[in-house]
């Protein structure tokens, strides 16, 4: 196991992709390759520990703001062989990758450091990890820690739905081996034990979670499974050392279509109809507003003028009947053009178009020394039109106050989960965007929504009524944060793991 004390190396683990958080007080980074090495680190030190995946997060979750040591799981990419499982090995960018596949159960056992791209490359043809998050360089461990999602989560659901088992190393090196369905809550209490026989009794968080796609706070539902407490826990309860994932075996490839509309209202009507067809095999529904399309025009000059919206749809392989229905809907909602992809090359082109938006925004930010502030809100379907109207109204107020400023709306509209991005160029615009961001967050909560659909909350804070508060307090209040702190102290009584995630340290001291 490598331990690196080089300042240049350490500096790479003091921020994440957001560049909005900066760690300090770290004098070494550990790179365990096995669960045993990970457990040895945790049992041999009493220092604060921050766990790091690929660093693709945007909420500061992996940033060590309270010092201590960093444990990077990026070299944990080879799971131990299992009897009855097929072992698949390949050379990856990070080294020798090894996963275990059970074709009959359609499951794979993987280590946390393997990336989505490497997992996809390792799986046999036709085998897919269904959630399909957009950032393929992200690790599976990071995806589980944040309950990440992607475009196909409209049909398949988020990461949580596909995690069948976890191995978790606790703050003192104790190891939990959790299989879905083995330990469930009775009368609001989870009782379980570690591999060494240590008993645990943890009351689940006492708050209500919205009945929608959600990645904000610790999971809490009557009769919940223990495994769900750790999924989306952002490393604050334990460090994931191994994951058993459900897989999807498909024959053929999905059919994709990208349609364009002159009126956003037509696009939204089209989306509402698509939502009703999910069970027929609509895998993904993605949205681009007119401002988003303007960001990719240079790369895609074939786009027509005066487009108000674009909607990307992905259908189950072999869905020709559904494709006929789709064509009828495109005519009904006055689509002026659509690009249909049935070949590998065409599908790749549409996927590249879908991903060109964030790339285009990032290029703009670099060229103009700008900064973006993006939302991650989800609201119930019956309130989505109200949320879209609010987005547009706030966006136009932002542009009216700061002439030349820009904003975009895009994302997983099938799940009522689009991202509103303020594009700011100076401090005045950033401060103005913060005020409007808070207004949007409060409105989403008022509509029964969540402040995070897929990114988690990490160490984000907001200024409200003249004070700086934890981001999650907006949604769960102080009592909700105290509930999360209580669960953390039950599993991490020394308060060592990923301090600052979800709840600030002052909630842990009480």
Supply 215's token pair: 């990645």
pLDDT for the residue numbered 20: 84
CA-CA-CA-CA dihedral for 7, 8, 10, 14, to nearest 10:
120
Query: Hey, which residues does 440 pair with through a beta bridge?
Result: none
State how far the Cα of 28 lies from the Cα of 30, in Å rounded to an integer: 7
Give the pLDDT confidence score for residue 55 in this predicted structure.
92
Paired strand residues for 259 = 311, 338
Would you give the end-to-end CA distance of the chain in angstroms?
37
Candidate from 214-218, 251-255, 274-278, 340-344 with smallest mean pLDDT: 340-344
**3-state class (DSSP) for residue 248:** strand
Closest CA to 475 of 234, 216, 215: 216
pLDDT tens for 69-86 read 999 999 999 999 988 899
The three-class DSSP label of residue 432 is helix
Model confidence band, residue 92 (pLDDT cutoffs 50, 70, 90): confident
Give, as one character, the DSSP assignment of residue 391. Answer: H
* Poorest-pLDDT segment among 168-172, 253-257, 276-280: 253-257
Cβ atoms of 270 and 330 closer than 8 Å: yes
Please say if the pLDDT value at position 341 is more than 80.
yes
User: Is pLDDT at 359 greater than 80 in this prediction?
Assistant: no
Q: What architecture is the 86-249 domain classified under in CATH? A: 2-Layer Sandwich (3.30)
Q: How many whole angstroms separate alpha carbon 326 and alpha carbon 313?
A: 9
Point out which residues pair with 96 in neighbouring strands.
91
For residue 329, give the 3-state DSSP assignment: helix
Would you state the pLDDT for residue 446? 97
Phi-psi region of 286 (alpha: psi -120 to 50; beta: other; left: phi over 0): beta
Instruction: Evaluate if residue 347 carries a pLDDT over 80.
Output: no
pLDDT digits (tens, 9 = 90+) for 150-180: 899 999 999 999 999 999 999 999 999 999 9
Res. 510 pLDDT band, cuts 50 70 90: low
Query: Can you tell me the distance from the alpha carbon of 149 to that of 181, in angstroms, rounded to the nearest whole number?
Result: 22
DSSP 162: G
Predicted model pTM: 0.95
What fold characterizes domain 2-72?
3.30.43
Average pLDDT over residues 116-135: 93
Q: Which of 139-153, 280-294, 330-344 has the lowest mean pLDDT?
A: 330-344
411 and 287 Cβ atoms separated by less than 8 Å: yes
Q: Report pLDDT for 79.
A: 94
What number of residues does the chain have? 510
C-beta separation of 53 from 139 below 8 A: yes
- Weakest mean pLDDT among 78-82, 203-207, 347-351: 347-351
Q: What is the per-residue pLDDT for 203?
A: 98
Tokens encoding 201: 């009794």
Q: How far apart are CA 464 and CA 470, in angstroms?
A: 10
436-452 pLDDT, tens digit per residue, is 999 999 999 999 999 99
Model confidence at 346: pLDDT above 90: no
pLDDT value for 351: 76
Q: Is the pLDDT of residue 387 over 80?
A: yes
Which tokens go with 279?
Answer: 């069970």
- Cβ-based neighbour number of residue 76 at 10 Å: 28
- Rounded CA-CA distance 67/190 in Å is 32
Q: Please name which of 44, 39, 62 lies closest in space to residue 242, comparing C-alpha atoms.
A: 39
To the question of domain 251-356 being in CATH 3.30.710.10, the answer is no
Judged against a pLDDT cut of 80, whether residue 320 lies above it is answered with no
Residue bearing the bigger pLDDT, 13 or 254: 13
DSSP 314-372: EE-TT-HHHHHHHHHHHHHTTEEEEEEE-SHHHHHHHHHHHHHHHHHHHHHHHHTT-EE
For the chain, what are the domain ranges?
Answer: 2-72, 86-249, 251-356
- Model confidence pLDDT, tens digit, residues 19-35: 889 999 999 999 999 99
Across residues 330-336, what is the average pLDDT?
A: 97
pLDDT at 99 over 80: yes
Give the C-alpha separation, 128 to 282, whole Å. 16
- Provide the 10 A C-beta neighbour count for residue 419: 22
């Amino acid at each position: 196991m490598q331990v690196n004390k080089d300042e240049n190396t350490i500096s790479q683990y003091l921020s994440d992709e957001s560049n909005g958080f900066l760690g300090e007080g770290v004098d070494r980074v550990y790179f365990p390759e096995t669960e045993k090495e990970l457990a040895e680190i945790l049992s041999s030190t009493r220092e604060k520990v921050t766990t790091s995946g690929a660093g693709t997060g945007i909420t500061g979750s992996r940033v060590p703001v309270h010092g201590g040591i960093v444990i990077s799981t990026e070299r944990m990419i080879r799971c131990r062989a299992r009897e009855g499982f097929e072992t698949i090995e390949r050379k990856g960018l990070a080294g020798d990758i090894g996963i275990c596949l059970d074709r009959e159960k359609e499951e794979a056992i993987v280590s946390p450091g393997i990336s989505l791209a490497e997992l996809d490359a390792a799986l046999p043809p036709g085998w897919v990890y269904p959630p399909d998050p957009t950032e393929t360089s992200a690790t599976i461990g990071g995806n589980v820690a944040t309950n990440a999602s992607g475009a196909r989560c409209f049909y398949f659901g988020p990461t949580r739905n596909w995690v069948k088992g976890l191995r978790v190393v606790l703050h003192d090196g104790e190891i939990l081996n959790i299989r879905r369905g083995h330990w469930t809550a009775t009368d609001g209490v989870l009782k379980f034990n570690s591999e060494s026989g240590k008993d645990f009794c943890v009351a689940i968080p006492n708050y209500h979670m919205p009945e929608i796609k959600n990645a904000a706070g610790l999971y809490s539902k009557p009769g919940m499974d223990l495994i769900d407490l750790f999924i989306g826990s952002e490393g604050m309860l334990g460090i994931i050392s191994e994951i058993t994932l459900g897989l999807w075996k498909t024959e053929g490839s999905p059919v994709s279509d990208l349609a364009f509309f002159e009126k956003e209202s037509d696009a939204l009507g089209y989306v509402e109809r698509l939502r009703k067809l999910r069970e027929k095999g609509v895998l993904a529904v993605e949205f681009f507003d007119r401002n988003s399309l303007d960001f990719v025009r240079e790369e895609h000059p074939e786009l027509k003028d005066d487009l108000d919206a674009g909607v990307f749809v992905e259908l189950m392989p072999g869905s020709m009947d559904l494709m006929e229905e789709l064509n009828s809907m495109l005519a009904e909602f006055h689509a002026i053009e659509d690009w249909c992809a049935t070949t590998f090359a065409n599908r790749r082109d549409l996927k590249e178009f879908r991903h060109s938006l964030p790339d285009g925004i990032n290029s703009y930010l670099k060229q103009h020394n700008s900064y973006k502030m993006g939302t991650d809100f989800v609201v119930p379907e019956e309130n989505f039109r109200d949320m879209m109207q609010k987005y547009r109204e706030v966006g136009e107020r932002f542009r009216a106050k700061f002439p030349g400023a820009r904003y975009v709306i895009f994302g997983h509209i099938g799940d009522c989960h689009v991202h509103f991005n303020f594009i700011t160029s100076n401090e005045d615009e950033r401060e103005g965007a913060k005020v409007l961001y808070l207004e949007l967050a409060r409105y989403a909560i008022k509509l029964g929504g969540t402040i995070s659909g897929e990114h988690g909350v990490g160490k984000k804070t907001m200024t409200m009524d003249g004070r700086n508060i934890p981001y999650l307090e907006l949604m769960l209040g102080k009592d909700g944060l105290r509930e999360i702190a209580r669960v953390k102290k039950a599993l991490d009584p020394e308060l060592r793991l990923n301090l600052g995630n979800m709840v600030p340290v002052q909630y842990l001291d009480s």
